[in-house]
């Protein structure tokens, strides 16, 4: 175990084992949740369960050896929702093409991860803008969760309205939300998966959803989704905003999660060479495993905030991530159980994750007019337009405009200018495709 430098990090195999188990229990929910979300894109559930488990196993173990940090990786919440509800359902593209979008954005991330681009982003993009993007995605996936469980429905007079709580399935969703909020408030370890279990049992007991007849089976085949990505189909001008959105959101999410998770353990320090090296290695893991994820048949892979639970349990090295990956092997054999979990026992997790991401707003400095305006527009446009791309674009454009009006030239750096131009192009592609085509001379 000298590879992991356990003694130098004041830890032991026992500590790392316990931390890996803690992280596994905290993020085990991703397997049934991702299976449900991506199956809404028309992908087979059985294959998705295997793909989610396999890529989580690979990603955790790879990051453990590659970066030697206690950070677990899996399919990112938010981007998997954008994959399904933004691209496949919203833009009406095949899931194979959407996987191609994920692969292309991940390849760009891989290339740039081995350059100084990530440091350039950190130095040039205000942290408050990154926090606004996180909060906006939180609002987006919260809206998706509420809509999918029926608590928010279409209303011809007001566009949206409250759902019918007397519907047993909607009631189960509301009850599940109450349970998950209660468990989170009590800071229960593995609270998400415990809430799903409690809600499911209640739904089974009262016959709202059928109970499972068995719990274990052999792993399902990956063949229906393995290597089914359509890269050529994703190489279209209309999908350029989606590629940019996946890349930029993935980058900001990774940097934010990694620094947040590991600050407490003092693993990353952007001001010294070793800390920057570890951050860089983790970003490389994110990028490389995201390419692998698109091949296996899942959305973007990213660092999980639940890794913080393992850090709190004493995890300090990559051996924690390796143990987490090994524990995920167990989920490969739970297909019948996961298939029987009521959808409305899972969608409340989207709402709760949205709440946690939305809390980033409390750290923002609203005394800056540009930050104040761009934060509000980013957060409000993502759920209302059902598009992370639109919210992100509006955020950068509005920030640039306000800084320009106030003549705050010192705040308009190369990073802001670059992302504003990209955002403007992305916004035009989505909101005015004919105009954008005319500007490029494309019919």
Tell me the torsion sign for CA atoms 37, 39, 43, 45. positive
Which spans in 222-300 are helix H?
Answer: 231-234, 240-263, 273-296
Residue 443's pLDDT is: 47
Q: Tens of pLDDT along 15-61?
A: 899 889 988 988 888 999 999 999 999 999 999 999 999 999 999 99
272 C-beta neighbours (distance < 10 Å), count? 9
Q: Which residues pair with 357 in a beta bridge?
A: none
Beta bridge partners of 301: 75
Q: In the prediction, which pLDDT does 122 show?
A: 66
Residue with tokens 């894109």: 41
> In the chain, which residues have pLDDT < 50?
442-443
- Are 102 and 246 in contact by the 8 Å Cβ rule? The answer is yes
> Do the beta carbons of residue 378 and residue 206 sit within 8 Å?
no
Task: Please give the distance of CA 117 from its chain centroid, rounded to a whole number.
Answer: 21
| pLDDT (0 to 100) of residue 267 | 64
The secondary structure of 70-98 as a DSSP string is S--EEEPTTHHHIIIIIIITTS---HHHH
Closest CA to 73 of 106, 38, 40, 98: 106
Residues 218-224: contacts with CB within 8 Å, 24+ apart?
218/333, 219/50, 219/53, 219/332, 219/333, 219/335, 220/46, 220/47, 220/49, 220/50, 220/335, 221/46, 221/47, 221/50, 222/47, 222/50, 222/51, 222/54, 222/296, 222/297, 223/47, 224/43, 224/44, 224/47
CA 369-370-375 angle, 5° bins: 100
**Cα separation of 408 and 378, whole Å?**
21
Question: What pLDDT shows up at residue 368?
Answer: 93
């Amino acid at each position: 175990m000298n590879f992991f430098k356990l003694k130098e990090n004041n830890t032991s195999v026992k500590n790392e084992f316990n931390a890996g188990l803690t992280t596994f229990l905290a993020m085990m929910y991703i397997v049934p949740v991702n299976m449900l979300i991506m199956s809404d894109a028309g992908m087979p559930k059985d294959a998705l369960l295997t793909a989610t488990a396999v890529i989580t196993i690979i990603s955790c173990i790879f990051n453990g050896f590659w970066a030697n940090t206690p950070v677990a990786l899996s399919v990112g919440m938010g981007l998997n929702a954008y994959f399904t509800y933004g691209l496949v359902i919203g833009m009406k593209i095949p899931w194979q093409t959407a996987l191609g979008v994920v692969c292309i954005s991940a390849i760009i991330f891989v290339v740039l991860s081995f350059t100084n681009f990530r440091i350039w982003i950190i130095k040039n993009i205000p942290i408050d803008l990154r926090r606004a993007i996180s909060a906006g995605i939180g609002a987006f996936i919260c809206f998706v969760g509420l809509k999918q469980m029926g608590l928010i429905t279409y209303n011809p007079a007001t566009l949206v309205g409250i759902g019918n709580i007397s519907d047993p399935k909607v009631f189960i969703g509301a009850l599940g939300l109450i349970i998950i909020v209660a468990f989170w408030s009590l800071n229960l370890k593995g609270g998400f998966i415990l809430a799903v279990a409690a809600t499911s049992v209640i739904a089974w007991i009262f016959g709202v959803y059928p109970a499972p007849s068995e719990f274990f089976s052999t792993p399902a085949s990956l063949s229906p989704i393995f290597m089914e990505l359509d890269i050529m189909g994703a190489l279209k001008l209309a999908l350029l905003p989606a590629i940019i959105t996946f890349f930029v959101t993935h980058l900001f999410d990774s940097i934010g999660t990694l620094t947040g998770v590991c600050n407490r353990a003092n693993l990353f320090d952007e001001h010294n060479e070793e800390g920057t090296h570890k951050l860089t290695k983790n970003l490389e893991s994110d990028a490389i495993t995201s390419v692998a994820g698109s091949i296996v048949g899942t959305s973007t892979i990213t660092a999980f905030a639940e890794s913080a639970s393992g850090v709190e349990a004493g995890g300090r090295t990559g051996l924690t991530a390796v143990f987490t990956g090994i524990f995920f092997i167990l989920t490969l054999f739970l297909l019948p159980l996961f298939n029987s979990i009521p959808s409305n026992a899972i969608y409340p997790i989207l709402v709760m994750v949205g709440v946690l991401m939305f809390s980033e707003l409390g750290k923002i400095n609203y005394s800056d007019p540009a930050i104040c305006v761009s934060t509000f527009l980013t957060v409000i446009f993502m759920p209302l337009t059902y598009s992370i791309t639109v919210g992100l674009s509006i955020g950068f454009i509005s920030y640039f405009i306000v800084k320009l009006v106030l003549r705050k030239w010192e705040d308009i750096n190369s990073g802001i200018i670059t992302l504003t131009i990209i955002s403007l192009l992305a916004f035009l592609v989505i909101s005015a495709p004919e105009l954008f085509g005319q500007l490029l001379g494309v019919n």
